[in-house]
Amino acid sequence: MTEHTEEALPGGDLLVTSPLQGTVVLLPLAAGDLVANGGPVAIIESMKMKHVVRAPATGSVRSLAVAVGDLVAAGDPVAVIVVGDNPGRGATDGAAVDLDAVRPDLVELHRRRAQLLDSGRSEAVAKRHERGRRTARENIDDLCDPDTFTEYGGLAIAAQRGRRSLEELIERTPADGMVAGIGRVNGDRFADERASCAVLSYDYMVLAGTQGQQNHRKKDRVFELVERMRLPVVLFAEGGGGRPGDTDYAVITGLDCMAFALFGGLSGLIPLVGIASGRCFAGNAALVGCCDVIIATKDASIGMGGPAMIEGGGLGVFRPEEIGPIDVQVGNGVVDLVAEDDADAVRLAKRYLSYFQGTTDGWECADQRLLRSCIPE
């Protein structure tokens, strides 16, 4: 929410006051800084919502009346603004704007984005590689043409503020365990409009790739977009299904989302490619089961219930590897293509998508006259 309240002071200055009771969590400006009309002066958190207190006029900050962490009541002073008409000059001393200065909110944005990347999660990535597996972002980088993937909702975090601190959620639950966006696949062979593809990958390094409230909302948004834009979808579905313990929403089952219905409705409209690598249970398996073609690695396990659900239902104790192993799922027709590993699965996905992206000038195949001897006389 964004708002501002102010009152005039002698001399024409404006006193910016807090519109509500809360805690000051960010002050993007310092005394002497320029601020545009409507620009942020402070951010106050109240009832787990952030309210941006905005400048009522263009000018410069004469002084700040609060510090980060201060508790304020409605009407308490926040800052004094010296009103000025020239946004390129300071209103009090005429000092030029420092073009090399980086605002604190931009520094914070860069920090948050860096924490999303594998380079900012070295410990989790090392554990992933020790198990012989690639990360979600490594798979996406392999699938999409270089520098073409645009991520949606990367700054989302798990809806667990009732049990974890904000900083812990930022550090431990980047993107709420779901990397999603649009990129180009096979762009070296097909035009950009034919190469565009939506890509979603559960991140097993975040709460075992489980489905949380925020990543459900991201899927809803992406699925709505791909229906409108007619984009193919590649889904990396590794994960443990629905996530227990999200506390920011008063729900019973956690299924109050449109993701499953929206995804199922895409079948027959656009190509849907599901990739199961490692463990793929419950809600994750439900989504991969909606795909037109399912590619799975040799170590994949696919089941509508994981070990905890099976044991809780009184059906016995089973290791994850015993639930829906690849030999069972190939035999019963669930898995269409078996891949050696993640890299091979990506290769197969790119090849499958190419069948829908257009024609190619150069190709080769076996001598078709061999077909004459396939059927006995």
Domains of the chain (ranges; CATH) run 2-95 (2.40.50.100), 108-354 (3.90.226.10)
Structure confidence at residue 11 (pLDDT): 63
Average pLDDT along the chain: 89
Structure confidence at residue 46 (pLDDT): 83
pTM above 0.85, yes or no: no
Mean pLDDT of 1-28: 78
Structure confidence at residue 279 (pLDDT): 95
Which residue from 106, 108, 1 is spatially nearest to 44, judged by alpha carbons? 1
Mean pLDDT of 10-36: 88
Structure confidence at residue 8 (pLDDT): 67
Using alpha carbons only, what angle is made at residue 336 by residues 260 and 277, rounded to the nearest 5 degrees? 65
- Over residues 305-335, the pLDDT tens digits come to 988 888 888 999 999 999 999 999 999 999 9
Residue 348, both tokens: 């197969």
Structure confidence at residue 100 (pLDDT): 84
Structure confidence at residue 368 (pLDDT): 92
pLDDT at 99 over 90: no
- Over residues 136-147, the pLDDT tens digits come to 999 999 999 999
DSSP string, 80-98: EEEE-S-TTB-TTT-PBP-
pLDDT at 93 over 80: no
pLDDT at 253 over 60: no
Q: Are 284 and 219 in contact (CB under 8 A)?
A: no
Give the span between the Cα atoms of 323 and 281, in whole angstroms: 9
In terms of average pLDDT, the best of 8-12, 255-259, 311-315 is: 311-315
- Over residues 152-203, the pLDDT tens digits come to 999 999 999 888 898 999 999 999 999 999 999 999 999 888 999 999 999 9
Q: Are 57 and 84 in contact (CB under 8 A)?
A: no
The residue length of the chain stands at: 377
Using alpha carbons only, what angle is made at residue 202 by residues 149 and 136, rounded to the nearest 5 degrees? 55
Calculate what percentage of the chain has a pLDDT beyond 70: 92
Taking CA atoms, 207 is separated from 23, 140, 213, 219, 279, in Å, by: 30, 19, 13, 17, 13
Q: Are 225 and 134 in contact (CB under 8 A)?
A: no
Structure confidence at residue 89 (pLDDT): 44
Q: Alpha carbon 109 to chain centroid distance?
A: 15
Structure confidence at residue 327 (pLDDT): 95
pLDDT at 277 over 70: yes
